[in-house]
Chain A
């Protein structure tokens, strides 16, 4: 647990292996890229992604104001499943079509 924010430390997930330092990129670049991709993937389900800029957390929200804080990609998918009646499916042809079109919902 973080003694400053009283949040439990996120699990060390394989997808977080490549940090900015590792990727040799400007600070925050990798994080911005992840949020950008997640936004496109979650948009067809009516969800938005916001990066509060602290810790590993992202905020997943729907258009009615419901929101969840998610630390790491597994938590993002779990939050999306709770917030949207539509399942995020990596093999959904409609999702793939929207991604090819540039993520326009």
Chain B
């Protein structure tokens, strides 16, 4: 696997029959998405990886894509994939399927969608998870978000969309670490873990991985709210909460609780990530970007007993949320 989770050429036989994984590559303007993608595609060395790129400036990407994987590339022009051109994204993905089935292109086993720097990852995840055709052929594998070591934290504190991208991330990739001091990088990594404790953070310089830090988790009491600068665009309070239980989970109680939470407070729930120990089933992973939750997946291998759920919420009383969770799980 590469930084973006792209399968190496030798891995592809095993996944060829399953749904195509989609890696969503997001990150604020100028954070190094395209450079990273080019390096990663070279590293993966697999011709069956397709690339969909969306940006405000189509011509720039034409040149880039010719060097990357022109045969599979689809450029969506005219704005943001997530907010205004979501249908185009669905058409692009459907077009890839169509081209494959007509025999015009070889099968793509993995898709990378590079969004514009101003895109919200949530609607893209929604498109993939809910389109009646696409959901049978594609599955969102991971959301990777690039953060510029030089200007990344400033962007996150000033621009709501940069913060949303960070909170949606499974993997945060710090780019351009060679341009700042190691202390600055350490400080940035700590801040990134504070904002999104459920994400891994990889530090890179000139496309090379320097180090990788696993999700930090949060304290049992939940972390204090993050108050953004009063002069920033987003002045809301973002809180991170980890819910844990050592007992095996009652799936019906949990699903009723989470679905009601998302129904009532959907726009305020920015991230849901969980490893659940479900009674009579075993360990499953649950992943949600904003209020869009993907179908749970069985986990194999050794998993720590018990259930842990990380929620990143906006303007929700986390103590009340904790009480609510435990109350629903204790319904007899």
Contact = CB atoms under 8 A, between A and B. Distances in A.
Contacts, number: 90
B281 A37 contact: no
Q: Does more than half of chain A's interface fall in helix, strand or loop, or is it mixed?
A: helix
Interface residues of B, number: 36
Interface string A31-73: 0011001101100000000000000000000000000000001
A11 to B, nearest CB: 8
Nearest to B332: A102
Given A17-B296, A33-B252, A100-B327, A12 B264 contact: no
A18 B295 CA distance: 10
B250 interface: yes
A23 B281 contact: yes
Given A12-B295, A96-B327, A99-B327, A41 B260 contact: yes
B275 to A, nearest CB: 15
B232 interface: no
Contact of B280 (A11, A25, A41): A25
A8 B279 CA distance: 31
A14 B293 contact: yes
Contacts of A91: 264-265, 316-317, 320-321, 324
Contact of B259 (A22, A74, A87, A103): A74
A90 B251 contact: no
Contacts of B255: 14-15, 18, 34, 73
Contacts of A11: 130
Given A30-B252, A77-B259, A90 B265 contact: yes
B264 A34 contact: no
Given A14-B293, A18-B278, A93 B320 contact: yes
